[in-house]
Amino acid sequence: MKKNINHSLFTALITFIVSFPLLGLSLVSVNGSLTIQGADNSTMIMIGVAISIVFIFQLYREKILHMLGMLPTPSLPFKQAYKNSSLEKRTTLKKVFMVGLILCVIIWPFMSSRGAIDLATLVLIYVMLGLGLNIVVGLAGLLDLGYVAFYAVGAYSYALLSEYLGLSFWVALPIGGMLAALFGFLLGFPVLRLRGDYLAIVTLGFGEIIRILLNNFTSVTGGPNGISSIPKPTLFGMEFGRRVKEEGNTLFHEVMGIAYSSSYKVIFLYILAVILVIFTLFVIHRLMRMPVGRAWEALREDEIACRSLGLNRTAIKLSAFTIGAAFAGFAGCFFAARQGFISPESFTFIESAIILAIVVLGGMGSQVGVILAAIAMTVLPELARGFDEYRMLMFGLMMVLMMIWRPQGLAPAQRPHMEIKNDA
């Protein structure tokens, strides 16, 4: 008990030091000189309450945990045996479900508000980014902290190609993807020989380099002001605006013979995003079952074993890095087209962190997980708009708590496997 009291006092003291000087005393600059203002009473009471909660919790830690049933009790893992007969049934069921889901996703925008569709388009961009990064981090096990750089390359390549060469979205999309892939290749070539953590910092540095370059090549990229009035994508030469912006294009509502509505554009962008996501899902799904996909996962699990089996480590890692970058490029192109305006502000480290959080939150290597996590990470902050100022605070806290409570992610990847039935 005495030890408990000492520990509780210590943690309470730490809580006090961590909270009081920063929350209780705020620096205010008055006429150029600094003064300290004490916080209002409610903040002080909050600090006091927090300290007492920590103290009491630590004092009766065992009892509280016991009451909540959170103390680990030794038990044997018991898993349901895998039934082989249901395998085929499950795949057909899965196909029906997938088709139904895709239909729902395509019909849905015609029945909901503009804001909701716009948000859904944003979710889809994050899904695409998450799926791309999932190849690098989830499947190949390479920690990339500068993924946003490839996203920026894609976005800027569309913006610049359309501004200087007048290329349309459909031409720029593959070019943007390829350019991003090229950057991935060029960066990956030297650094993929390095150990994991070195790779993390080099990619992080690369992300910063790209952002700084975009910020400073003012003559080409517009610097911090970014590039505005990027043309929206067209559908077979049909524009979705009120008037034709580019020579030779027609207007969607005129061709179709319907009244103009601004929501057509939003719906079109949404459907375009859905198609891009389905394309991404399909490609990655196939890749995962190809030798190269198997090699990614094998390399993540045991590098030495892979090398002894004759797999070319660098080539495999490089392919994962390049393909992942290409998808970020596609997403970037689409982002630029949707937004109509891009600036280096959109490609900061926090964006990389969000994408990484999506991958890890979803369960590394799991595609369903990535989709769920992308929805959670984009929609929840939107819903919490009322608490806007606490948004990032909550975001950081959520990341930590998720890792503690559910480190395997929301929907961890499941490999086809057999388990021996345990009757004992």
Partner 1 sequence: MSEEFFYFLQQLLNGLTVGSTYALIAIGYTMVYGIIGMINFAHGEVYMIGTYVTFIAITGLTMLGIEYMPLVILCALIIAIVASCSFGWAIERTAYRPLRGTNRLIPLISAIGMSIFLQNYLVQAQGARDIGLPPMITGGWSFGPDSFQASVSYMQLIIFIATAVSMLALTTFISKSKMGRACRAVAQDLQMANLLGINTNRVISTTFVIGAALAALAGVLLGLYYGIANPYIGFIAGLKAFTAAVLGGIGSIPGAMLGGLILGVTESFTAGYFSAEYKDVVAFSLLVLILLFRPTGLLGKPEVEKI
Task: Produce one character per residue of 263-277: b if its CB has 16 or more CB atoms within 10 Å, e if not.
Answer: ebbbbbbbbbbbebb
Residues 113-142 that bind partner 1 (CB under 8 A): 137
Pick one of 14, 56, 67, 290: the residue that binds partner 1 (CB under 8 A): 14
Regarding 322 and contact with partner 1 (CB under 8 A), the answer is no
Q: Quick one: which of 196, 237, 291, 340 contacts partner 1 (CB under 8 A)?
A: 196
Helices 169-191, 196-216: crossing angle, 10 deg rounding: 130
For partner 1, the closer CB: 216 or 229: 216
Min CB(394)–partner 1 separation in Å:
9
Contact 148, 347 (CB under 8 A): yes
23 makes contact with partner 1 (CB under 8 A): yes
* Residue choice 98, 209, 258, 315 for contact with partner 1 (CB under 8 A): 209
Q: Which residues contact 132 (CB under 8 A, 6 or more apart)?
A: 147, 150, 280, 323, 324, 325, 326, 327, 328, 331
Q: Which is nearer to partner 1, 304 or 420 (CB)?
A: 304
Give the Cα separation of 113 and 33 in Å (integer). 51
* 67 contributes a contact to partner 1 by CB under 8 A: no
Residue 25 binds partner 1, judged by CB under 8 A: yes
Contact window for partner 1 (CB under 8 A) among 123-131, 226-234, 290-298, 387-395: 387-395
Q: How far is the CB of 113 from partner 1 (least distance, A)?
A: 30
Helices and strands in the chain, H and E counts: 17, 4
Q: Note the Cα 217 to chain centre separation in Å.
A: 28
Tokens 């499947």 found at? 139
CB of 395 to partner 1, least distance (A): 6
Distance CA 421, CA 335 (A): 49
Cα separation of 261 and 266, whole Å?
Answer: 10
Nearest to partner 1 of 20, 60 (CB atom): 20
Number of residues that bind partner 1 (CB under 8 A): 58
> Using an 8 Å Cβ cutoff, are 292 and 319 in contact?
yes
Which residues of the chain form contacts with partner 1 (CB under 8 A)?
14-15, 17-18, 21-23, 25-27, 29, 33-36, 137, 143, 190-191, 193-198, 200-202, 204-206, 208-209, 212-213, 215-216, 304, 349-350, 353, 356-357, 360, 364, 389-390, 392-393, 395-400, 403-404, 407
